[in-house]
């Protein structure tokens, strides 16, 4: 089986009727959102575990924001 490339996917998507292209766009957007949510939940669970294990210390939101801004 030949490799699937972005160009081939786009070519196939462009061959769909406009309504199906819109549906595909919406489905891809929703799946990406769900993937982002799952990644965020996994990161949060890992951070909570590290906090409970004493590897992290509680900080105020102001300190975290200041640290993030300084890291730019």
Checking if the pLDDT of 1 tops 90, the result is no
Q: Structurally, how many domains does the chain consist of? A: 1
pLDDT single digits (tens) 13-41: 999 999 999 999 999 999 999 999 999 99
Q: Tell me whether residue 21 is in a domain.
A: yes
Question: What does the pLDDT average to over 38-62?
Answer: 94
**Residue 41, domain extent:** 6-70
Residue at 1 is within a domain: no
d(CA 4, CA 6): 7
Average pLDDT, the chain: 94
Sequence-ordered list of residues with C-beta below 8 angstroms from that of 38, at least 6 positions apart, any chain? none
Percent pLDDT > 90 in the chain is 88
Q: What is the pLDDT of residue 67?
A: 93
In a domain, 54, yes or no: yes
Tokens of 17: 């009727």
């Amino acid at each position: 089986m030949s490799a699937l490339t972005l160009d081939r996917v786009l070519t196939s998507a462009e061959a769909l009727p406009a309504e199906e292209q819109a549906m595909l766009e919406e489905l891809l957007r929703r799946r990406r959102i769900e993937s982002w949510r799952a990644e965020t939940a996994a990161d949060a669970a890992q951070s909570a575990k590290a906090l409970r294990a004493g590897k992290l210390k509680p900080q105020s939101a102001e300190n975290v924001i200041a640290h993030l801004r300084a890291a730019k």
